[in-house]
Amino acid sequence: MEFMHKSVLLEECIENLKIRPDGIYVDGTLGGGGHSFEICRRLSDKGRLIGIDQDAAAIAAAGKRLETYADRVTIVRSNYCSMKDVLAKLEISSVDGVILDLGVSSYQLDDAGRGFTYREDAPLDMRMDQRQSLCARDVVNLYSEMELYRIIRDYGEDRFAKNIAKHIVSARTEHTIETSGELIQIIKAAIPARVRAVGGHPAKRTFQAIRIEVNRELDVLESSLDDMIGLLGEGGRLCVISFHSLEDRIVKEAFRRNENPCTCPKDFPVCVCGKKPKGKVITRKPITPSASELEGNSRAASAKLRVFERHTGEIGN
């Protein structure tokens, strides 16, 4: 299956990265290489792009797509949370820009064998990096009812989380839950028919929750943003595209904290904690897809882009 993925908010990302022809840029979620291709087109032969992805199919597809610019591209199979180490090995201490396009690619959703989709029956997998051992089958069959309830409530934000967890645990006492089709039927049984009749697919939120848990998506994001900001050189920018409220909240809070890290009580006349701002938030409100983009790519509907600009000196108002 060919790796197809429409890069979300592509023009907005490129515009906000403010690409310098001789700069060094990192695409932490390389995917099919859509964002990277547009970055490379704007680089001179002195510029450099480092693409990071944990998915072997993405690495192969991006390598092919970026062939024209092979002289300025380095592709590494890793998780973006290891960006600091990846760059250290390449003897790069600072970069001019970083982009993250979070969530699942169209290819991963459309390849039934990967087990991300709730639209086809397939083995429960959901691993973005197929080298890791934990998969969706393990979460569904081995997690306690309380653990399942917690992740479906917190990561899926599903109001029927308690009942869904109860139904999963009950069903697996009869036999191991192996496929997405089996799990969908269990979820449907846990949600009232009147609720299933409206809104989106009843399994959407639970599948999202399990995928986040399998890939530790929120933990990885939360633990990486400060490092990425620290890797930016003066005026460098970090662009992050998120797809649900939990990711967006993490990005928003990290950006705010790096813009105003002071922990002194509000009534203190001067700062004594010594924590200095790392830069400024460029997007007070997130950038969202245009009507024309949504027309051509409905999966972009929940996308939000936030941008942070690094400044190492004093920041004016």
72 occurs within a structural domain: yes
CATH of the domain at 210: 1.10.150.170
Same domain for 280 and 151: no
Per-residue confidence at 314, pLDDT binned at 50, 70, 90? low
Residue 295 has pLDDT above 70, yes or no: yes
Structural domain of 126: 113-215
DSSP strands (E only) in 55-94 = 73-77
Residue 3 has pLDDT above 60, yes or no: no
Per-residue confidence at 299, pLDDT binned at 50, 70, 90? confident
Query: 198, 215, 232: which is the final residue of a domain?
Result: 215
More confident of the two residues 110 and 184: 184
79 occurs within a structural domain: yes
Whole-prediction pTM? 0.91
What is the structure's pLDDT at 110?
A: 63
Same domain for 260 and 295: yes
Same domain for 278 and 202: no
Same domain for 266 and 180: no
Mean pLDDT of 271-291: 93
Task: State the total domains in the chain.
Answer: 2
Same domain for 264 and 209: no
The alpha carbons of the chain give a radius of gyration, in whole angstroms, of: 21
Q: For 81-111, how does the pLDDT look when each residue is reduced to its tens digit (9 = 90+)? A: 999 999 999 999 999 999 999 977 666 666 7
What is the spatial distance between Cα 135 and Cα 122, in angstroms, rounded to a whole number?
13
137 occurs within a structural domain: yes
The alpha helices in 27-68, defined as continuous H runs, are 34-41, 56-65
From 123, 129, 124, select the one nearest 143 (Cα to Cα): 124
Q: Encode burial over 128-163: b for 16+ CB neighbours within 10 A, e otherwise.
A: beeeeeebbbebbbebeeeebbbbbbebbebebbbb
Mean pLDDT of 299-311: 94
